[in-house]
Structure 1
Amino acid sequence: MTEVTSGTDRETVWRKVALRTFPLLGAAYVLGYIDRVNIGFVAAPLSRDLGMTNVEIGLTSTLFFIGYILATVPSNLLLRRFGAPRWIGFTLLAWGTITAVTAFADSAQTLYVLRVLLGFAEAGLAPGVLLYITYWFPARQRAWAYPVFISVIAVSGIIGAPLTAGLLEWGRHLTGLTGWRSVFLIEGLLTILVGVLVMTRLAKGPETAKWLSVPERERIQRRLDAETALKHENAVPAGIMDAFRSGRVWAFAFAFFALTFGIYSFSYFLPQMLQLLADEGGTSPTDATSVLLTAIPSTVALVVMLVWPRIFAKRSAVFSTVVPLTAGTAGVVLAALTDNGVAFIAGTCLAFSGIYTALSQFWRIPVLGLTGAAAAAGIAVINSAGNLTGMVSPLLTGAIQEATGGFRHALLLIAFVMSLGVLTMLIVGPRVERTGAGSPPASQRPQRVTAGRDDSPRKETS
């Protein structure tokens, strides 16, 4: 079969895929992130009700990631076996139920158990979505697909902060429960609803997408098959054990650990950091006001994250990851060294923008060096090992704050760890890019009808 397609037609296909898959997955990701970090949003009233210290609040994050890390790899392999709609939908139903039950926790010990269970339930979402994107988008399209999708993390902060603030203030009128309990109950029920929609509306892959025409399905599959063929030519790891034996996978796991080291500390303690600065300045904001202020860095980060790939579209993935991560590190240092509230917000805006932009570009690199079962296992290893930061960072931050009475030393530690991530990316990243699937093998490259840029009309033969 012979068909002539234009660059506009091809881009329309990718936009159609994104519009059909990203809203549901984005809603799941937003709820997953909010469910994960809402302990930080409600830390002040929750700790008062249950008599918990900052160290104990940090421990809830550590316990969450025990279950999360243990379940990530098997969960991603199960997704590959059963398909994204069933598996991701199941995880949403499970963690939505656990989050709703958390509303009725009556002690720190009950909360600890529920957070471990939540970690097991939520483990399949983030790595599963990252893997699922590779089922639809080849390398070139992933350059914008990952940033667009991961931008929902910033959206989580924008949506989650006012949602949580509103429920803290008025949730008792909706549920009859105190504010922080209403947060868990309502967000849990919303998660269950999205889980049902994912199970019934999400397509397993191009081959089952009824909303694509036959030529569109064939075009997508042809591009994905060509990329897989190139990876095989370059002897890219393809088996499960290959991923565990790959030094690059573990290097990327550490880089991801360093990249995300600041995310969880800020997510759990930013409202308290702002309250501490305000108290030192002689003001006393409410719990809801402190939560609302946390939306400012997330809003700025969302804009930067979406603009960055447009400006530097032709730069390498390593450049697009390392530069914002370096800027984010500088933002953390600024936040650590200032006692001025405005300067602190500016530092956190720079930190959030750098971290989230680097995160959106980071995942372009590891998937270039993995395929098949190794991709499922490798993404899960990187995600789970990197998410050790979710265990370590909040616990250290809480302990350092308890010992010193402030967050300065904790923020400086975060900046140091992030700088190690920059160094690791500079060492490992370029090597993977050189062997990655930048273009299909010569035998499978489509013949262009006209010369010029890649988005010019071309003729494809299948």
Structure 2
Amino acid sequence: MTAYDAAAAAYVDAPGKAELDLTYRKVFWRIVPFLMLCYVVAYLDRVNVGFAKLQMSQDLAFSETVFGLGAGIFFLGYFLFELPSNMLMHRLGARIWIARIMITWGILSAMFAFVTTPTQFYVLRFLLGLAEAGFYPGVILYLTYWFPSHRRAKIIAVFMSAIPVSGIFGNPLSGWIMESFHGGAGFHGWQWMFVLEAIPAVLIGIATILYLDNNIRSAKWLTEREKQLLADEIAAQPQEQQKNAHSLRAVFRDPRMWWMSLIYFAFVSGQYGLTFWMPTFVKSTGIKGTLEIGLLSAIPFVVAIVAMNLFGHSADKRRERRWHLIVPALMGTIGFTVAASAAGNTTLSIVALSVAAAGVLTCAPLFWSLPTAFLAGSAAAAGIAIINSIGNLAGFASPYLIGYLRDATNSTASGMYVLAGMLVLGAVAVWLTPARLVNR
């Protein structure tokens, strides 16, 4: 008998919070680390173009504006296919659909090794956005099948720790590949990086078909007792959420959804401004070697992963959402503002970027506890997709704007000030959101 089975047996005759917590721990360890691994690979393939830029722009004579537009155009394809992708996942099941997403984006990501013109770069980035659309909101939707709203902030924070994890390991890895493989078989280092970092996406996509379960009822690793406990918890969602579970048309007419989209747009501006341009921000302090840039770029993500999980745990424990979003948003504002004025000081810049990373990367997981507090079922599938797709248009606007400002001013400072301003906008919008709507 395993330790889990022995502990579970002790509660058979006295069901309660301890038994439920034990069941949720079992669910957590079964699905969350695997989804986190998927997102590490997804995020690495999404933003490694920021690292490739260190060599790619010079080899292909791409301007900062060309790179910024190419980095951002990913989100136009993402925007167009986000809603249909999430609805298809709700209908076909997470196992097949997440596997499809990962395999197709892995193949497309490898094809960047053969880009030679801006047009090819734009087309592939657009197609990559189409392929990956639905992964992130699909996972958020998938987690609502397993975890009730009052447990979600911590779970989503752990899942989204994949973003800083991808920075912690991905940035040094990308720098090492670009230095170590440069010139091998006639390929540049950035070409090798695209090919090698695409392979895990395809392999994990195949593994998803074998490992992931679509919902509680299809999970063979749960007992009937455990399935019933989980199903009862989901059924006991707040009344307002249950009321909206089947009202798809009402989602589009609900002003709360558009307000959530505004908040998410502001936070995503900071997130992708940071993740796409982090290597460039570090390089602008005077660091030259790609491996050294990769190692220094990892430091802010280490700080972020701690902050994300501390804030997520606190938000669930206190069942408070607004100030747990406002505080990290203002942290991001301060970090970007200080970094903008300290471009010549590597140490101060890394400290400021660490504060910025802790702030902006904490905002995203905690944000999703807001809309999922009043959406469920097909309404959640549509609402999450719409909010995510509109918010991720900032992923187009933010990198492009920073690239344009860098070309216009020959400095990263103006772009950082814009990111700081967007985070202030998001913080104010959260403050204006009624506490009764989201504090559950």
TM normalised by structure 1 equals 0.89
- For 1:97 and 1:25, the matched residues in 2 are separated by 20
Q: 5 Å matches for 1:129-168?
A: 129-168=139-178
Tell me the equivalent position of 1:224.
234
2:318 to 279, 290, 314: 314
Q: State the 1:26 CA deviation.
A: 1.1
Q: Does 1:371 align with 2:381?
A: no
- For 2:333 and 2:185, the matched residues in 1 are separated by 41
Tell me the equivalent position of 1:44.
54
Tell me the equivalent position of 1:432.
437
Q: Does 1:238 align with 2:246?
A: yes
Q: Is the 8 A contact 1:30 1:152 kept in 2?
A: yes
Decide whether aligned partners of structure 1 residues 178 and 429 sit closer, same or farther in structure 2, where only a CA change above 3 A counts.
farther
- For 2:185 and 2:326, the matched residues in 1 are separated by 46
Q: Which moved more, 1:354-363 or 1:72-81?
A: 354-363
Q: Is the 8 A contact 2:109 2:198 kept in 1?
A: yes
Q: AA paired with 1:369?
A: F
Q: Is the 8 A contact 2:183 2:189 kept in 1?
A: no
Decide whether aligned partners of structure 1 residues 361 and 115 sit closer, same or farther in structure 2, where only a CA change above 3 A counts.
same
Tell me the equivalent position of 1:402.
407
Q: Which moved more, 1:151-160 or 1:237-246?
A: 237-246
Q: State the 1:308 CA deviation.
A: 2.6
1:249 to 254, 257, 270: 257
Q: State the 1:15 CA deviation.
A: 1.4
Using the aligned pairs only, state the percent identity: 35
Per-residue Cα deviation, 1:108-156 (whole angstroms, up to 9, x for no partner): 2212111110000001110000000000001222131111111111111
Q: State the 1:240 CA deviation.
A: 2.2
Q: AA paired with 2:173?
A: L
Q: State the 1:65 CA deviation.
A: 0.8
- For 1:127 and 1:391, the matched residues in 2 are separated by 17
Q: AA paired with 2:137?
A: P
Tell me the equivalent position of 2:6.
none
Q: Is the 8 A contact 1:24 1:194 kept in 2?
A: no
- For 1:176 and 1:187, the matched residues in 2 are separated by 18
For the aligned residue pairs, the C-alpha RMSD in angstroms reads 1.8
Q: Is the 8 A contact 2:153 2:313 kept in 1?
A: no
Q: State the 1:237 CA deviation.
A: 6.1
Q: 5 Å matches for 1:339-354?
A: 339=343, 340-354=345-359
Name structure 1 gaps, 5 residues minimum.
279-283, 439-462
Q: State the 1:292 CA deviation.
A: 2.2
Q: State the 1:9 CA deviation.
A: 2.4
Q: Does 1:22 align with 2:32?
A: yes
Q: Is the 8 A contact 1:64 1:391 kept in 2?
A: yes
Per-residue Cα deviation, 1:281-308 (whole angstroms, up to 9, x for no partner): xxx5212221221101001111121223
Q: State the 1:81 CA deviation.
A: 0.3
Per-residue Cα deviation, 1:196-243 (whole angstroms, up to 9, x for no partner): 0111110111101111111001100011112175523xx436322221
Tell me the equivalent position of 2:8.
none
Q: Which moved more, 1:97-106 or 1:2-11?
A: 2-11
Structure 1 SS opposite 2:114: coil
Tell me the equivalent position of 2:305.
302
- For 1:137 and 1:390, the matched residues in 2 are separated by 28
Name structure 2 gaps, 5 residues minimum.
1-11
Q: Is the 8 A contact 2:240 2:374 kept in 1?
A: no
- For 1:148 and 1:429, the matched residues in 2 are separated by 26
Structure 2 SS opposite 1:305: helix
Q: Does 1:78 align with 2:95?
A: no
Q: Is the 8 A contact 2:262 2:391 kept in 1?
A: yes
Q: AA paired with 1:101?
A: M
Structure 2 SS opposite 1:145: helix
Q: State the 1:317 CA deviation.
A: 1.3
- For 1:412 and 1:243, the matched residues in 2 are separated by 34
- For 2:31 and 2:313, the matched residues in 1 are separated by 22
Q: Which moved more, 1:6-15 or 1:248-257?
A: 6-15
Q: AA paired with 2:293?
A: S
Decide whether aligned partners of structure 1 residues 335 and 362 sit closer, same or farther in structure 2, where only a CA change above 3 A counts.
same
Decide whether aligned partners of structure 1 residues 31 and 429 sit closer, same or farther in structure 2, where only a CA change above 3 A counts.
farther
Q: Is the 8 A contact 2:246 2:377 kept in 1?
A: yes
Q: Is the 8 A contact 2:177 2:192 kept in 1?
A: yes
Structure 2 SS opposite 1:291: helix
Structure 2 SS opposite 1:135: helix
- For 1:106 and 1:327, the matched residues in 2 are separated by 40
